[in-house]
Amino acid sequence: MPRILLGLGGNLGDRASTMRAAIAGLTRFLNVSAVSPVYETAPMYLKDQPAFLNLALTAETDMAPASLLAAVKYLEQRLGRVPGVRYGPRPIDIDILLFGLTIETADDLTIPHPRMAERGFVLVPAADVAGDWVHPVLGRTIGDMLASLASTADVVPYRDQALAMAATG
């Protein structure tokens, strides 16, 4: 079964509860192997919105990438996600960052995630659970990509350690 890396984030509603529900929902169709600590992060592209909670998780699946995307999008909808402004506020966003060594470009799915190498809010939690995983296009580990970022000062451990412990346990 391919090993996958997902990034989760959200900044609307009860962020902690939504993250817990997202992790629980993902365990229904993935063999989750590790969940990172939770981080609070500043918005990156559209600045005038609430701070995000972000985490990463690794899992194994026998699903094809398109089937995984459909399952993830359905879970997002169940958790209150509705179409909105790109990079805008949302209760939950679940991104497929890596799917084994798969390289795929389709209208609705690009693997590896095309912007993961520029995002501290993705790389900091991803390095916690998959720091030695190699990006199949860039040929660099997640840890190396993280080390090359100018700053991750806006990615801070989330103050609610109960959520962080629930996420990592």
Tens of pLDDT, residue by residue, the chain (169 residues): 899 999 999 999 999 999 999 999 999 999 999 999 999 999 988 888 999 999 999 999 999 999 999 999 999 999 999 888 888 899 999 999 999 999 999 989 999 999 999 999 999 999 999 999 999 999 999 999 999 999 999 999 998 756 655 555 5
Non-local (6+) Cβ contacts of 8 within 8 A are 19, 22, 23, 54, 55, 56, 57, 92, 93, 94, 95
Task: Look at the chain and report how many structural domains it folds into.
Answer: 1
Predicted local distance difference test score (pLDDT) of residue 88: 85
Catalytic residue among 20, 95, 140, 160: 95
Q: Is 154 a catalytic site residue?
A: no
Non-local (6+) Cβ contacts of 125 within 8 A are 7, 36, 37, 38, 39, 54, 55, 56
Contact 168, 35 (CB under 8 A): yes
Q: Is 81 a catalytic site residue?
A: yes
Q: Which domain holds residue 13?
A: 3-166
Catalytic residue among 3, 20, 62, 90: 90
Catalytic residue among 15, 81, 119, 128: 81
Non-local (6+) Cβ contacts of 55 within 8 A are 7, 8, 9, 19, 35, 36, 37, 38, 39, 125, 167
Domain with residue 39: its CATH number is: 3.30.70.560
Predicted local distance difference test score (pLDDT) of residue 45: 84
